[in-house]
């Protein structure tokens, strides 16, 4: 009898493992999602939810207490880390912050998480995540970077937009334009209304130009996340003590509104 090759044994085993593990999106996203992108009423709080998730599939992942959480307005940075409250977000651990503004302004909420060990990728992940909120319909300062190691600078105002508008952003690494950076795009299906026809439809992709500028037209109303990933120029010890690569994510969330009838 002819002996089976190792390859003929390996292929069914690989298929069995693949079928046994539910398919998941390629991308995780740091998420900083406020209850409203534009606030026009006084004495009304804004609730900000922090998570690390698969937004389209509505699958949460465990988020440890962030390393930093702060807001920036008019060039002033305010530390908010001690104000975070634990919360269950998409079935996993996350945090919330309640902000009751007293004066108008454009506020950028920024999360730097603890390094997340991803065994499937054999590396750590750090998503520097920010979202811009207009308080009392202020509009000044939304395009200003906050000085993160990796960051997406909005070139289209990230609030006050309609479904179908084209978002324009610039990827920055250490404050400089990241030429031809890849940008992953994903919709936050908060109400779980949609399904993707194929895997690539979940996390879409666009390539920035030589100046790090990219454009993406958003076909649905709601929250859209943009993430550009790059490797850090340093490593940190992994679970077994050996040095591992660190993936840095520049993440920005924007909101698209539906047109309202009279």
pLDDT reading at 14 higher than 90: no
- For the residues 96-110, what does the mean pLDDT come to? 94
Q: Quick one: pLDDT at residue 29? A: 96
Q: Quick one: pLDDT at residue 38? A: 93
**Contact status, residue 180 vs residue 200, Cβ threshold 8 Å:** no
Question: What are the residue ranges spanned by the domains of the chain?
Answer: 26-257
Dump pLDDT digits (tens) for 179-205: 999 999 999 999 999 999 999 999 999
Q: Quick one: pLDDT at residue 26? A: 56
Taking CA 138 as the corner, what is the angle to CA 137 and CA 144, rounded to the nearest 5 degrees? 135
**Six token digits for residue 40:** 């026009």
Looking at per-residue pLDDT, the higher value among 239 and 27 belongs to: 239
Q: Please tell me the pTM assigned to this model.
A: 0.88
Q: Quick one: pLDDT at residue 43? A: 66
Q: Quick one: pLDDT at residue 22? A: 40
Q: Quick one: pLDDT at residue 5? A: 38
- For the residues 51-73, what does the mean pLDDT come to? 96
Q: Quick one: pLDDT at residue 16? A: 34
Neighbours of 237 (CB within 10 A): 10
- For the residues 93-108, what does the mean pLDDT come to? 94
Report d(CA 38, CA 17) in Å as an integer.
46
Q: Quick one: pLDDT at residue 243? A: 96
Report d(CA 153, CA 251) in Å as an integer.
10
pLDDT reading at 77 higher than 80: yes
| Residues in contact with 59: Cβ distance below 8 Å, sequence separation at least 6, in sequence order | 24, 53, 90, 91
Q: Quick one: pLDDT at residue 23? A: 38
Dump pLDDT digits (tens) for 120-173: 999 999 999 999 999 999 999 999 999 999 999 999 999 999 999 999 999 999
């Amino acid at each position: 009898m002819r002996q089976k090759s190792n390859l003929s044994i390996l292929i069914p085993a690989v298929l069995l493992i693949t079928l046994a593990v539910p398919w998941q999106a390629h991308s995780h996203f740091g998420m900083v999602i406020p209850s409203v992108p534009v606030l026009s009423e006084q004495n009304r709080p804004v609730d900000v939810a922090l998570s690390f998730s698969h937004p389209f599939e509505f699958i949460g992942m465990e988020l440890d207490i962030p390393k930093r959480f702060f807001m920036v307005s008019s060039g002033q940075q305010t530390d908010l880390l001690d104000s975070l409250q634990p919360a269950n977000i998409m079935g996993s651990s996350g945090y919330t912050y309640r902000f009751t503004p007293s004066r108008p302004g454009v506020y950028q909420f920024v999360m730097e998480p603890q390094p997340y060990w991803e065994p499937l990728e054999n590396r750590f992940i750090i998503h520097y995540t920010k979202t811009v909120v207009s308080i009392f319909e202020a509009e000044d300062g939304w395009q200003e970077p906050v000085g993160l190691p990796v960051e997406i600078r909005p070139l289209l105002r990230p609030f006050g937009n309609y479904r179908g508008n084209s978002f324009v952003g610039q990827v920055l690494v250490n404050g400089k334009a990241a030429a031809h950076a890849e940008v992953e795009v994903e919709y936050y299906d908060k109400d779980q209304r949609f399904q993707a026809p194929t895997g690539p439809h979940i996390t879409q992709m666009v390539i920035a130009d030589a100046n790090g500028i990219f454009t993406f037209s958003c076909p649905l109303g709601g929250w859209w996340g943009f993430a550009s990933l790059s490797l850090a120029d340093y490593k940190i010890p992994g679970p077994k003590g050996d040095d591992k690569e660190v993936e840095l994510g520049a993440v920005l969330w924007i909101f698209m509104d539906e047109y309202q009838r009279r």
